Structure 1
Amino acid sequence: MTPITMVEGRRISLSNLDKVIHPETGFTKGEVLHYYATVAKYLLPHIQDRPVSFLRYPDGPEGQQFFTKNPPPGTPEWVKTAPVPRSDDPSAEQIVVSDLPSLMWAANLVVEFHVPQWTAGSPGIANRLILDLDPGAPATVVECCAAAVWLRERLAADGLRACAKTSGSKGLHLSVPLEPVPSEQVSAYAKALAQEAERALPDLVVHRMAKALRPGKVFVDHSQNAAAKTTAAPYTLRARSRPTVSAPVSWSEVEGCRSPADLVFLADDILPRIERDGDLSAVLLDPADAHRLPGARP
């Protein structure tokens, strides 16, 4: 029998709690749910006003993985959705994870949480900029950190304050809170910035996705600023053999990174980090911290 749990007055069916999801450490589905319950206070503000896309991996990282934007069959009526017009479906809607019951219902599906750079009420109007630094072997997150420091200073020269988090995989994400601006303007700025980084650091950075260009270098992926794209949310678990997390990090950690292991954080690491440092991505949440994108037009 599938156990029923009450979460803030909502009945949620939780299934297969003993199933191993992250095989390298034996991390079970029950532990996945426990992780999300313990970090909900910090994760929810980063996703609760954004339509989420799910990367589902119900049988672990070695099983089938599939990306879904539409509300899955069986979505409870109390889970919020928001209209997200798409070229293939003008009436499309997506889930908005707005509270703890919705988070635990979604976590029971075993998902990564991915969100766009805009909020549910303003499709295509971004309020953050994202740069995804992706290393091409033999480069690692160590090289990503070197590129990130250069990008931080270049952004600062334009009056933009960046914060960093691990991707939870191989790379690093830089995010900047913005005053709302059309996504295409953010995309253009981010592409120009990536091109400038490649000119300044030709032995370290590439701005194009072609795999032939990437060995030993850091691909500065600017494309996730497009309105249709999404990025792994802060504090989401990733579909890896270990329960790695897309974890906010300090700039001192970025500057001090000497080994890929320095910036690998597992589920059990996250709450102690938050208790010590607070939410290192909190700058993304306060409109008072938002910056005007250089050259932005209404």
Structure 2
Amino acid sequence: MTEKVRVKVEGRLLVLTNLDKVLYPDTTFTKAEVIDYYTRIAPVLLPHLKGRPLTVKRYPNGVEGQFFFEKNAPEHTPDWVRTVTLPAPGSTKNREEIDFAVVEDLPTLVYYANLAALEIHVPMWRVAKDGEPQPPDTLVFDLDPGAPATIVDCCRVAVLLRQALADDGLDCFPKTSGQKGMQLYVPWDRGPGTSDYAKALARRMQAEHNEFVTSVMAKKERPGKVFIDWSQNNPAKTTVAPYSLRAARRPTASAPLLWGEVEACDSPDQLVFTAPDVLERVAEHGDLFVPLTA
């Protein structure tokens, strides 16, 4: 029989289930601990989710079990969860539209954590109060190392990108992916041209640093190089949100970084942060991505 616990979260009644279920077997990290992490990280996470249509990866039987992507809000979604109906070109389920959830408060975040939605992914654009999609407010570079390259090599490329962006009058902010790579986020107020700009800069980086950089997705081009994935700026694509957990062997999270950490990185282990690590980092540094919420 499924154990159910009724709780009130900011006035909303939620029924939590299977709290003792281990979702990360290597560390016996349970569903209760996932919910606790998302509850405690919410003050810095929620501003990055505000207005952004949600995609989640759900792991009902833990990271070793089957998972599924979910864009459409589940049928049992409470009526107090904000949803927006948006076109769904290329939907794998042949939907013309999808009802996306938008996570803007703690009850909604806890609701999804209770669904074992370990990974939270969002696009680089928001919807207005009336649900109308807005131009992108963020540009992202996803830096993916092709073995034997590691995140150490990604850091080297990130520093080069930071300088190139600065030359164009743009700031950028680094974070780990929570897995093997990292991302650079760029606050953007120059209209809908993020994809074209990111592609052009990635191509330039490849031309200037061909020995360790590629902007080509083909696997054969990537061993020993850092792939600068500019395609994440396609409006139909999403990127793992800052502070989201990842479905790794341990409960790692996508952690914002200090540039000093990026510059000093000489071992991949230096930039692996678990949920408790990330909570400690926020207690010490606050939200290193706060400029992206302006």
Q: TM-score, normalised by structure 2?
A: 0.94
Equivalent residue, structure 2, for 1:181 = 191
Q: Distance in 2 between matches of 1:220 and 1:261?
A: 21
Match of 1:108 among 105, 114, 125: 114
Counterpart contact for 1:198–1:205, Cα < 8 Å: yes
Match of 1:254 among 243, 262, 267: 262
Unpaired runs of 5+ in structure 2? Answer: none
What secondary structure, in the 3-state scheme, does the structure 2 residue paired with 1:126 have? coil
What secondary structure, in the 3-state scheme, does the structure 2 residue paired with 1:31 have? helix
Unpaired runs of 5+ in structure 1? Answer: 287-298
Letter in 2 for 1:282: V
Moved more, 107-116 or 90-99: 90-99
Residue deviations 1:50-99 (CA, integer Å, cap 9, x gap)? 11101111212211111111011311111110122222544322000110
Moved more, 65-74 or 230-239: 65-74
What secondary structure, in the 3-state scheme, does the structure 1 residue paired with 2:120 have? strand
Asked if 1:214 corresponds to 2:217, the answer is: no
Q: Distance in 1 between matches of 2:134 and 2:235?
A: 5
Asked if 1:129 corresponds to 2:142, the answer is: no
Structure 1 moving runs of 4+ over 6 Å: none
Equivalent residue, structure 2, for 1:74 = 76
What secondary structure, in the 3-state scheme, does the structure 2 residue paired with 1:120 have? coil
Equivalent residue, structure 2, for 1:16 = 18
Asked if 1:141 corresponds to 2:151, the answer is: yes
Equivalent residue, structure 2, for 1:201 = 209
Moved more, 57-66 or 25-34: 57-66
Q: Distance in 2 between matches of 1:33 and 1:154?
A: 40
Counterpart contact for 1:85–1:92, Cα < 8 Å: yes
Q: Distance in 1 between matches of 2:67 and 2:228?
A: 25
Asked if 1:151 corresponds to 2:161, the answer is: yes
Percent identity for Structure 1 against Structure 2: 51
Moved more, 117-126 or 192-201: 117-126
Q: Distance in 1 between matches of 2:208 and 2:61?
A: 44
Q: Distance in 1 between matches of 2:257 and 2:33?
A: 23
Counterpart contact for 2:127–2:134, Cα < 8 Å: no
Equivalent residue, structure 1, for 2:97 = 91
**Alignment map for 1:39-78 (pairs within 5 Å):** 39-78=41-80
What secondary structure, in the 3-state scheme, does the structure 2 residue paired with 1:164 have? strand
Counterpart contact for 1:123–1:227, Cα < 8 Å: no
What secondary structure, in the 3-state scheme, does the structure 2 residue paired with 1:94 have? strand
Counterpart contact for 1:140–1:171, Cα < 8 Å: yes
